[in-house]
Amino acid sequence: MTGVALSIIAAVLMILAVPGTAAPAAGTISGTVTNHTGAPRPLAGHPVRLTAYVNGAEQEWKETVSDARGRFSFTVPVDPQRTYVAWLHYKDGESTSAPVILKTGGQRASVTLRVWEPTTDAGVLRVNVHHIIVEAGEGAVRVAELLVVVNGSDRTYVGSGVGTGLPEGRRRVLRFSLPRGARDVQIMDGLFERAVTVTADAVIDSVGVTPGMREIAYAYTVPIAGRALTLARLLDYPTERLEVFGRAGAALSVAPLARQDDVKTDQGTYARYSGGPVATGTTISVGLTGLPARRATARYAAIAVFAGLIAAAVVYPFLRRSRPARQGAATSGARREELIQAVAALDDRFDAGEVPEAEYRRRRARYLERLRAMPAGPL
């Protein structure tokens, strides 16, 4: 063998021996799929997909099938920059796991996927608490609505069928009526924009409602021609408690609710009306007179800030008081899955160029902070 050949072989062997060229360390993500309609039981023989994300962008995915005990397992590269999410589509609903990051070789992580049988009975839905916040300005009134929708059954509500007039044959699952003249609808939380259709008189969501609670928030404007306006808001679901807040400076009246003490915040003083329970089909009449003759743009964002304060100071304490202890684990699991779905939807919108980077990072950090703060669900 010539000296040149020996040199080439030696060089190749040296390259193969260089540290870092070995296959990346591997870890395992395993879990179970359980059907929670009736007595919990394994979901066997169902496809499960594991998706890898880097910086919020989907990189690749793997798929397997659950065994007779509902178990599944994936062997994946260990990379602290990767986030793994397991999910599956079951009938008319989806189930998504908590995110997983593997940092060391040989690390094992477990996740849980829960599914429910579908139902088309709208009677399983109610609204626990509903807040309507009104901010007046020149030429328009800005309205934010915060609702907590509850599915008290052990089935996923999927609507009564494909909705007419909706794109791509989407199902009409949740419907929130809009007052006459509403426009510029902005989805704030709890609704997945890729599945929302806004019509002239309603916000319609096509995502199935799993058992537990879903917090929903959206906003819109209603133009005004003078110094007075009446908003007629039809309630689509039975509502245990309804609260309406209006910025002081315009006289506010709300029928059939009762006046309560004003609420003072850094954004100003708001008149407050409340009542309940309120039946489905009730029309709430929000009257504003003496509307201020000033531009709304300077306070356009203030209503979102106030909506957050109302959620923190009124909505969440109310939920803690009213939530039965026996539903705590199920509620936490359902909310965790909704947050994961919200992250995935936000990632899709960012990848499509629909969300500015600063807004994307702010909202994603908020979702992940909520996830970290949640107690771990049962495995």
pTM of the model: 0.69
23-48 average pLDDT score: 93
Domain contains 370: no
Domain contains 364: no
CATH number, domain of 43, equals: 2.60.40.1120
What single letter denotes the amino acid at residue 176?
F
* Better-predicted residue by pLDDT, 304 or 360: 360
Q: Which residues contact 149 (CB under 8 A, 6 or more apart)?
A: 125, 126, 127, 128, 174, 209, 213, 214, 216, 237
Q: CA angle 316-38-71, nearest 5°?
A: 90
pLDDT at 347 over 90: no
pLDDT tens, 237-274?
999 999 999 875 567 888 899 998 888 877 678 889 99
Q: In the listed set 59, 88, 115, which residue is the last one of a domain according to the structure?
A: 115
Q: Which domain holds residue 70?
A: 16-115
What single letter denotes the amino acid at residue 103?
K
pLDDT at 320 over 50: no
Q: How many domains does the chain have?
A: 2
Whether residue 128 sits in one domain with residue 268: yes
Helix, strand, coil shares, percent, the chain, to 5: 25, 45, 30
Whether residue 170 sits in one domain with residue 40: no
**pLDDT for residue 330:** 40
Q: Which residues contact 75 (CB under 8 A, 6 or more apart)?
A: 26, 27, 28
DSSP assignment of 327-366 equals GHHHHHHHHHHHHHHHHHHHHHHHHTT-S-HHHHHHHHHH
**pLDDT for residue 46:** 96
φ, ψ dihedrals at 274, nearest 5°: -150, 165
pLDDT at 168 over 70: no
pLDDT tens, 178-190?
999 999 999 888 8
- At 313, the pLDDT band (50, 70, 90 cuts) reads very low
Tokens of 293: 């003759």
* Better-predicted residue by pLDDT, 311 or 124: 124
Q: Which residues contact 355 (CB under 8 A, 6 or more apart)?
A: 346, 349, 363
Label the pairing between strands 26-35 and 108-115: parallel
201-209 average pLDDT score: 90
- At 148, the pLDDT band (50, 70, 90 cuts) reads very high
